[in-house]
Amino acid sequence: MTAESIKAADIAPAPALLLESEEQKRAYASGVILAHLIEEQLAQQKSLHITLNKNILLAGIADTFTHQVKMSDNEIRQTMAVFDEQVRVLTQAQSEKKQAEDKVYVDAFLKREGVKKTKQGLLYHIDNLGEGSALKDTDTIQVSYKGTLVDGTVVDAPTIDNANEIFRVANMPPVLRDSVKLIREGGQVTVVIPPATLEKPKGGQDVSPLNTVVIYTISVVAVNRIN
């Protein structure tokens, strides 16, 4: 990206002193949001081993604002058609590989002694039952939990690392609520959630919001019972 194209498009970092009015803040915030969207797209492409040059990408944005685009509309359409097909093929291959890895994990988990299945389709293994009576909806509990993908990527956990969270059982997210009711105070359960058991998104589309296996390790650290 050339200094001339940046200057011509007025794309320069806005100093803090210029962010005084609501109009200036809205413009800046809109730019930040746009940049985050682009970063997310680049990260997704990188996971497919596709890397786009950020400077050239920014040059395309700047040249569009200054009406100095260096490709014809037809060239842009053809280039993006080929690129979109490449992304589609790579995404499909990545998805098929992930599904195969998930199946291997689930099949192995099912072979563990003591693994059971809930009515909702969750697979679970009680690592440690704990002590005391079964939890009630009125109980308040301290919980340690972590949700990961098969490759270890963390997708759900307390906002503070290694911290416990306090919940009223009745107010817990469905997966956590159903899981803690399987154990007692001091207990731990491992729950494997196949994609088919996840809640469907609003609108009735027959697609899971997270099309992958999620593994939860959940411990009930302490219980405050309300009679």
For 198-213, the pLDDT digits (tens) are 544 444 333 334 578 9
Burial label, 23 (beta-carbon count in 10 A; 0-12, 13-18, 19+): exposed
Do the Cβ atoms of 140 and 167 come closer than 8 Å? yes
Q: What is the mean pLDDT of the chain?
A: 85
Model pLDDT, residue 223: 92
215 and 115 in a common domain? yes
**Which of 5 and 191 is assigned the larger pLDDT?**
191
Question: 155 and 46, same structural domain?
Answer: no
CA 7 to chain centre: 37
Region 77-88 average pLDDT: 95
In this structure, the answer to whether residues 66 and 136 fall within a common structural domain is no
Same domain, 62 and 116: no
For residue 84, being part of any structural domain is answered with: no
pLDDT, position 73: 95
Neighbours of 79 (CB within 10 A): 11
Residues 111 and 64 in one domain: no
Q: What is the pLDDT of residue 20?
A: 81
Task: Please tell me whether residues 50 and 142 are part of one structural domain.
Answer: no
| CATH code at position 108 | 3.10.50.40
For residue 107, pLDDT beyond 90: yes
Q: What is the pLDDT of residue 210?
A: 57
Number of structural domains found in the chain:
2
Q: 180 near 169, Cβ under 8 Å?
A: yes
Is residue 23 assigned to a domain?
A: yes
Domain assignment present for residue 49? The answer is yes
Residue whose pair of structure tokens reads 């759900």 in the numeric block = 156
- Residue indicated by tokens 């399987």: 182
DSSP 3-state percent helix, strand, coil across the chain (nearest 5):
45, 20, 40
Tell me what pLDDT residue 47 has. Answer: 87
Residue 4 has pLDDT above 60, yes or no: no
Whether 94 is in a domain gets the answer no
Looking at residue 13, what is its pLDDT? 54
CA 23 and chain centroid, separation: 32
Is 166 in the same domain as 63?
Answer: no
Which of 50, 70, 90 corresponds to the end of one domain?
Answer: 70
The pair of structure tokens assigned to 227 is 């009679």
Confidence (pLDDT) at 204 = 39
Least reliable range by pLDDT among 14-18, 110-114, 118-122, 152-156: 14-18
Tens digits of residue pLDDT in 35-62:
999 999 999 899 889 999 989 999 999 9
96 in any annotated domain = no
Q: Among 15-19, 101-105, 153-157, which stretch is predicted with the lowest mean pLDDT? A: 15-19
Q: Are both 109 and 66 inside the same structural domain?
A: no
Binned at pLDDT 50, 70 and 90, residue 188 comes out as very high
Instruction: List, in sequence order, the alpha helices (H) in 18-148.
Output: 22-47, 54-65, 73-110
Two structure tokens written together for 36? 């985050």
Task: Give the residue among 222, 218, 76 at the shortest CA–CA distance from 147.
Answer: 218
Q: What is the pTM of this model?
A: 0.68
178 lies in the same domain as 112: yes
Phi, psi of 88 (to 5 degrees): -60, -45
Q: Which domain holds residue 161?
A: 104-224
Does the residue 82 lie in any domain? no
